[in-house]
Amino acid sequence: MEKSLLFIPDISGFTKFIQSTEVEHSQHVIAELLEILLEANANEYQLAEVEGDALFFYQENEVPSLESLLAKGERMFTAFYSHLKQFEKNRICPCNACATAPNLNLKIIAHSGQLQFMTIQDKRKPFGQEVIEAHRLMKNSIQSDNYMLLSQDLSEDVHLSEAYQSKLYDFKKGKDAYDGKDVDYLFAPINKENLKLDAFSFGKKLSFDKAPSLVIEKQFPISAPQLMEYITNYSYRENWAVGVDQVNYNESEVTQLGSEHVCVINGKHLNFETVTKDVEAGQLVYGEHTDGAAPVDAIYQFYIFTPISDNSCHLKLEIYLKAKSPIKKLMIALVLKPLFRKTMLKNLDSLYKFIEKK
């Protein structure tokens, strides 16, 4: 029987992350990162299991070359830290989960051996001693949360020595005892500075040379971050947005600059993008933009949250209605501004009542 590869990318710091921060957002962040790692795998290795903060891959009856294995690791490290960098630059949520997400790290454990399989609910899964060995190696004494580890068996199979060095990898010997037995391995701490991170787009920060078309203000008996969560979490939108029949969005994503959602109003689909603008120190801001709401050319609305106390805040809603033609501008002044004011006042009243019930 040929040897197989076992390959486990594991997000370091996950347990501390969810114990000390907001659970829902931390789950979304981890889900996003696991998706990124799955994409970086490019269907090359078979996924056996999603194990909370880790992915358990295997390649049956085949051990890749050293070059291929290290290239796979580099792709995963690059994709992982590129996503965290983008998240850091584009985040709008002030919660601890989102603020500390860039501190997460990635470790990759790789092992080789002869696999056994069992079938559970028509799904074939590896099990046995080699699976146990691979998972034991996740609990090691390496003084880092950011590394690639190859078991001694795999190191010998791919002819990796402790003298191997490259720009990214500088392998060292390691050893730990499991059940009274010493287990050797080689590991390389990863310096993020040596990764060529993927380019990404920054979210839009806007400025306006004119006053908003409408300004509506209201005080809420809830903290500014909590109110921001109710507005930016699209799962709540149908509970308070008057006339919205449905909201389509990426349920596994934390709202950030560039995030998109679709509001269905009377059968019409309006595409919104998350944007921002400068506000005063201590304030929070969430903005969204659509250019599909005829007869106006574009709508920008910004929710500005000013803390009053731990349990209260002031919300200022600024709405910019943009139009180029004189006829559209006249329509905005005579018809649309009163209509928008009426609708948004209803929305904020509905939001207030919804929060009271929560």
Angle at 279 between CA 229 and CA 295, to 5 degrees: 75
End residue of a domain, out of 175, 194, 213: 194
**Residues 210, 169 share a domain:** no
8 A C-beta contact, residue 148 and residue 169: yes
Q: Which of 171, 194, 217 is the last residue of a domain?
A: 194
What pLDDT score was predicted for residue 300? 96
- List the CATH number of the domain containing 228: 3.30.530.20
Residues 270 and 140 placed together within one structural domain of the fold: no
Locate 197 and state its tokens: 């991170």
User: Rounded mean pLDDT of 261-267?
Assistant: 88
Looking at the fold, whether 238 and 305 belong to one and the same domain comes out as yes
Q: What is the pTM for the complete model shown? A: 0.87
Residues belonging to the chain: 358
Please tell me the predicted confidence (pLDDT) of residue 266. Answer: 80
What are 54-64's pLDDT values in tens digits?
A: 999 999 999 99
Q: What is the pLDDT of residue 314?
A: 98
The answer to whether residue 21 scores a pLDDT higher than 60 is no
Q: So what's the pLDDT on residue 122?
A: 80
State pLDDT tens for residues 101-114: 999 999 999 999 99
159, 194, 229 - which closes a domain: 194
Same domain, 225 and 248: yes
Q: Do 131 and 210 belong to one domain?
A: no
Predicted confidence (pLDDT) at residue 233 exceeds the cutoff of 90: yes
Looking at the structure, do residues 243 and 188 belong to the same domain, yes or no?
A: no
Within this chain, do residues 140 and 218 fall inside the same structural domain, yes or no? no
| Average of per-residue pLDDT across 129-143 | 94
Q: Using one digit for the tens of pLDDT, what is the confidence trace for 198-209?
A: 887 778 899 999
Of 164, 188, 158, nearest to 68 (Cα)? 158
Please tell me the predicted confidence (pLDDT) of residue 343: 93
| 128 and 211 fall within a common domain | no
Q: What is the pLDDT of residues 171-219, one digit of tens each?
A: 999 999 988 888 999 999 999 999 999 887 778 899 999 999 999 999 9
Per the structure, the count of domains in the chain is: 2
Q: Is the dihedral of CA 43, 49, 54, 57 positive or negative?
A: negative
The letter for the amino acid at 316 is: K
Higher pLDDT, 179 or 220: 220
Residue 50 lies in domain:
4-194
Amino acid at 112: S
Q: Which of 6-10, 29-33, 83-87, 197-201 has the lowest mean pLDDT?
A: 197-201
CA nearest 226: which of 318, 62, 358, 339?
358
Q: How far apart are CA 207 and CA 214, in angstroms?
A: 16
20 pLDDT exceeds 70?
Answer: no
Give mean pLDDT, residues 164-172: 95
Considering the domain architecture, whether residues 220 and 336 belong to the same structural domain is answered as yes
- Asked whether residue 317 is domain-assigned, the answer is yes
Flag whether 200 is in a domain: no
Confidence at residue 18, expressed as pLDDT on a 0 to 100 scale: 67
- pLDDT for the residue numbered 55: 97
- Let me know if residue 238 belongs to a domain: yes
pLDDT at 293: 81
Residue 183 sits in the same domain as residue 209: no
Whether residue 237 lies inside any domain: the answer is: yes
CATH of the domain at 155: 3.30.70.1230
What is the percent of the chain where pLDDT is above 70?
98
What pLDDT is recorded for position 19? 66
Say if CB 152 and CB 111 are below 8 A apart.
no
Task: Report if residue 199 sits inside a domain.
Answer: no
DSSP-derived secondary structure letter, 235: G
* Domain membership flag for residue 101: yes
- Supply the mean pLDDT for the chain: 92
| Residue 97 predicted with pLDDT over 80 | yes
Give yes or no for residue 265 having a pLDDT over 90. Answer: no
- pLDDT tier at 14, thresholds 50, 70, 90: low
Query: Do both 178 and 214 map to the same domain?
Result: no
pLDDT of residue 268: 87
Same domain, 224 and 176: no
Alpha-carbon torsion angle 242, 341, 284, 231, nearest 10: 0
